[in-house]
Amino acid sequence: MFTDAHDIVVIGTSAGGMEAICKLLEQLPDEIPASIFIVQHLSIDSSSQHLVKRMAKHTGLQVKIAEHDDIILPHTVYLAPADRHILLTKKRILVVKGPRENQFRPAIDPLFRSAAAYHGSRVIGVILTGMMNDGTVGMEAIKRSGGFTVVQDPHDAEHPDMPRSAIRNVSIDYVVPVREMGTLLYQLSRTPSADSVTVPQDIIDEAQMVERVMTSSTMSSIKNMDALGNRASYSCPECGGGLWELNQGKVTRFRCHSGHAYNEESLLQNMNSALEETLWV
């Protein structure tokens, strides 16, 4: 049971995202009673510190790069560093170089999933502009766990793929342009969360399994994959291991024992890339 306000805000974005994030941050009052976590798809050589400085110009909130084992603090904006996932636990942030999900690291789904698993109905999930569909599965986890779901209006997004995917696959609570999102998030953050929503066990199980793999100091694997789904007839294009098709929710997705995760689109892209590399070696 969760009875606090909606004090965990998780935001995912990709192409065109930094401009949208800055427009959103400048609308948020400094007294918003929430911790804000942002995953912006970044290349491995991106300067996370440069992005933090840019974001800080648009808000009075503290803005920082998330660090491993940070305590979750209110009135603070945490940005995932380049080439690292961020996961949430009850009170702390984990910053890990785990397997890619949907071809990305950092990826949006791991953050959203862990937020849903540990914070349930206190979470507000936000999808902004971006290509492909990372974040849809995580948004579904937030919705199933009783949190609020907010998506940038695709007509307002520089790249509408991610917003459209979320809208197509999840019953989204609010679809708004960025210029209206700050006021909405402030209002939602002050709304008491539901006290009657229990986080589905499959979301908790997957989040904890992934956390164990991503935080392991040695090569580790997810145990008991059969508990998550059914074995697929093809292999993981990144590590060659077996794939399992996960049956929870509306979105078809796949995961291997090493932790790589895909939706249908990202799996097909990875398989095509692997085939092309083999043919042109």
Q: Could you give the residue numbers annotated as active site? A: 14, 41, 134
194 contacts 146 by C-beta, under 8 angstroms: yes
209 token code pair: 């399994």
Q: Please state, in angstroms and as integers, the Cα–Cα distance from residue 56 to each residue in 1, 18, 79, 81, 180, following that order.
A: 35, 12, 11, 15, 20
Name the CA radius of gyration of the chain, rounded: 18
Residues 6 or more apart whose CB falls under 8 angstroms from that of 79 comprise 38, 40, 48, 51, 52, 55, 63, 64, 65, 66
CA-angle at 153, arms to 150 and 155, nearest 5°:
170
Crossing angle of helices 17-25 and 178-189, in 10° steps, is 50
Q: Provide the Cα torsion 194, 184, 31, 29; round to 10°.
A: 170
Measured in degrees and rounded to the nearest 5, phi and psi for residue 162 equal -65, -45
Distance separating alpha carbons of residues 210 and 217, to the nearest angstrom: 14
Q: Please state, in angstroms and as integers, the Cα–Cα distance from residue 89 to each residue in 81, 110, 193, 209, 216, following that order.
A: 18, 12, 18, 13, 16
Distance separating alpha carbons of residues 208 and 243, to the nearest angstrom: 19
